[in-house]
Amino acid sequence: MRANLISLRVSAGKLALAVLLAGILAMPALPLQQPAKGKIAQIKFEGLRKYSEAQMDELSGLHPGDVAGREDLQAAADRLAQAGLFTNVSYRFQSSGEELRVTFRVEEAPTVPVLFDNIPWYTDGELIGAIRNGLPWFDGTAPQQGPFLEQMASAVQKLLDLRGLHVAVEHELTNDPASDALAQVFRVTGASQRIARVEFGDPLAAESRLVQQRLSDLVGKPFSRIAIVLFLNEQVRPIYLQKGYLRMRFDRPQVRLTGDPTRPLPDAIQVFVPIDHGPAYRWGGTHWTGNRAFTAESLEKFLTMKPDDPADGMKIAATWEHVEDEYARSGYLDVQLAEKPVYDDAAGRVRYDVAVSEGAQYHMGELVITGLSLNAERKLRDAWPVPVGVIFDRMKFDELLVKLQARRSEVFGDLPIHYEEAGHWLRTNSATAVVDVLLDFK
């Protein structure tokens, strides 16, 4: 009895080439007496973390007991690679007589959460269940690309068709407004539902005059969870942060349905937003580490709160921005702040531990200007605020950019200037602590 080992690889981006190479490379490795097909005695998967071997058996289309040859194994690898779940797929097999033992080696691709934007007829649980019926591996996340996205959309479409809805399901990879992380958003086109009313599950939001004044941004507009979440983050959350509710959170907006559930959903729908505001905190101070260019006392001047004041989250966020600007004025273009809140729930206070990574202190290097006439370039160089070799003041640079966009006469005087935009780049070299500025006018 003689065993033969064959190993082939296919990547999701080069399937056609992999298929061709597989046929060329695999043939010399098999002895002439090797049978064209064999009975699969075992299938193993290496590299699985999120998915089960049983799920991948279904996806590959191969099962123990099947009779398969090289073409069948390659086709199974292609199906795995095309699914979008893996960045790389390779396989090897051992033959012993007429039996085959197959091992697939996979590298799982990153997945992103799934969001349902404007599908008010069903709960998230019902939509997830519909997808899982056809795709058992689905766990609420999805690949960033691949045919499974179309299968997911098709599962949702079938559920909507049961209600006789004349809508089409689409999907888009975009940013989740709640976290700013990537998400796979499923939405429908052709829907007529609009927001008639928004209710809040907490008096602070419900009774806020500012919130009520801005509700026209939502009411009367097409129903969209993403639009609602944006509204909550931009208009409602600041009200809580200002009062020290730093750990407040919104639960997922809910559609409030009334009447006969078998009848079509009315065009005007009501939305309810549950809110858990948590405790209100008082200010407990800051602890700075890593700051060498500035003392803790000099950084504290940007804080506008005193001990035991309400821990205003908006002021706290503004403090970090002011500190970064102060560093930028002194040439620290790579500065990073890592702010960690330390909550004392018993005392109702919050302290922030702030680790500063200052990076290099940059000096002005070369100024490169393209797209201007010689006279205009001369005017701009005369107005340039940071001489060569001087510590680079990022704030002066930003002020000049504002003039180039909105107040051009302050730079060019009466000289005729024709450009639509001024592209700008800072080319830093941390080894030499020099920054070159590139300005391109179009």
Tell whether 120 and 259 lie within a shared domain.
yes
Tell whether 205 and 173 lie within a shared domain.
yes
Tell whether 76 and 11 lie within a shared domain.
yes
Q: Give 58-68 pLDDT, tens digit per residue.
A: 889 999 999 99
Residue among 339, 336, 330, 347 at smallest CA distance from 386: 330
Exposure pattern of 219-237 as b/e (b: 16+ CB <10 Å)?
eeeebbbbbbbebbeebbb
Answer whether residue 20 shows pLDDT above 60.
no
Strands of the sheet containing 268-273, edge to edge, are 194-200, 268-273, 254-256
Tell whether 94 and 171 lie within a shared domain.
no
Q: Give 204-214 pLDDT, tens digit per residue.
A: 999 999 999 99
Q: What is the pLDDT of residue 3?
A: 45
pLDDT average, residue stretch 267-285 = 94
CATH of the domain at 44: 3.10.20.310
Where among 357, 380, 397 does a domain terminate?
357
Residue of higher predicted confidence among 36 and 361? 361
Tell whether 314 and 377 lie within a shared domain.
no
Question: What is the rounded average pLDDT for all residues in the chain?
Answer: 88
Would you state the structure tokens that stand for residue 88, as one six-digit string?
């790389």
Give the DSSP letter of residue 120.
T
Q: What is the pLDDT of residue 31?
A: 41
Answer whether residue 9 shows pLDDT above 60.
no
- Which amino acid makes up residue 354? V
Would you state the structure tokens that stand for residue 437, as one six-digit string?
């500025």
Q: State what percent of residues in the chain have pLDDT above 70.
A: 90
Helices (H) then strands (E): counts for the chain: 14, 20
Listing DSSP states for 63-100 in one string gives: -TT-EEEHHHHHHHHHHHHHTSSEEEEEEEEEEETTEE
Residue 125 to residues 121, 140, 224, Cα–Cα distance (Å): 12, 10, 18
Give the DSSP letter of residue 265.
P
Where among 254, 276, 298 does a domain terminate?
276
pLDDT average, residue stretch 163-192 = 91
Asked whether 187 and 258 are in contact (CB, 8 A), the reply is: no
Residue 433: Cβ-neighbour burial (10 angstroms; 0-12, 13-18, 19+): middle
Residue of higher predicted confidence among 5 and 293? 293
Q: State what percent of residues in the chain have pLDDT above 90.
A: 69
- How far is it, in rounded angstroms, from Cα 362 to Cα 429? 8
**pLDDT confidence of 13, banded at 50, 70, 90?**
very low
Q: Which segment of 104-108, 128-132, 257-261 scores lowest on mean pLDDT? A: 257-261
The range of the structural domain enclosing residue 240 comes to 112-276
Looking only at the bridges linking them, the beta strands covering 275-276 and 282-289 are unpaired
pLDDT average, residue stretch 170-198 = 92
Where among 326, 357, 388 does a domain terminate?
357
Residue among 216, 270, 278, 217 at smallest CA distance from 243: 278
Residue 155: Cβ-neighbour burial (10 angstroms; 0-12, 13-18, 19+): buried
Residue among 409, 405, 403 at smallest CA distance from 422: 405
Helix 313-329 with 394-406: angle, nearest 10 deg:
100
Answer whether residue 55 shows pLDDT above 90.
no
Tell whether 331 and 209 lie within a shared domain.
no
Q: Give 335-344 pLDDT, tens digit per residue.
A: 999 999 999 9
Asked whether 418 and 408 are in contact (CB, 8 A), the reply is: no
Q: Give 292-344 pLDDT, tens digit per residue.
A: 999 999 999 999 899 999 999 999 999 999 999 999 999 999 999 999 999 99
Residue among 341, 234, 334, 329 at smallest CA distance from 285: 341
Would you state the structure tokens that stand for residue 224, as one six-digit string?
């969209």
Tell whether 263 and 161 lie within a shared domain.
yes
Tell whether 428 and 334 lie within a shared domain.
no
Q: What is the pLDDT of residue 16?
A: 40
Answer whether residue 82 shows pLDDT above 80.
yes
- How far is it, in rounded angstroms, from Cα 208 to Cα 211? 5
Tell whether 179 and 225 lie within a shared domain.
yes
In three-state secondary structure terms, 312 is coil
Tell whether 215 and 251 lie within a shared domain.
yes
Would you state the structure tokens that stand for residue 209, as one six-digit string?
């005059």
- How far is it, in rounded angstroms, from Cα 210 to Cα 71? 66
Non-local (6+) Cβ contacts of 56 within 8 A are 45, 48, 80, 104, 106
Q: What is the pLDDT of residue 14?
A: 44
**pLDDT confidence of 264, banded at 50, 70, 90?**
low
Q: How far is CA 369 from the centre of its chain?
A: 34
CATH of the domain at 367: 3.10.20
Tell whether 259 and 140 lie within a shared domain.
yes
**pLDDT confidence of 95, banded at 50, 70, 90?**
confident
pLDDT average, residue stretch 388-400 = 96
Q: What is the pLDDT of residue 262?
A: 57
pLDDT average, residue stretch 42-69 = 89
Answer whether residue 224 shows pLDDT above 90.
yes
Q: What is the pLDDT of residue 291?
A: 96
Tally of domains within the chain: 4
Tell whether 270 and 286 lie within a shared domain.
no
Give the DSSP letter of residue 190.
S
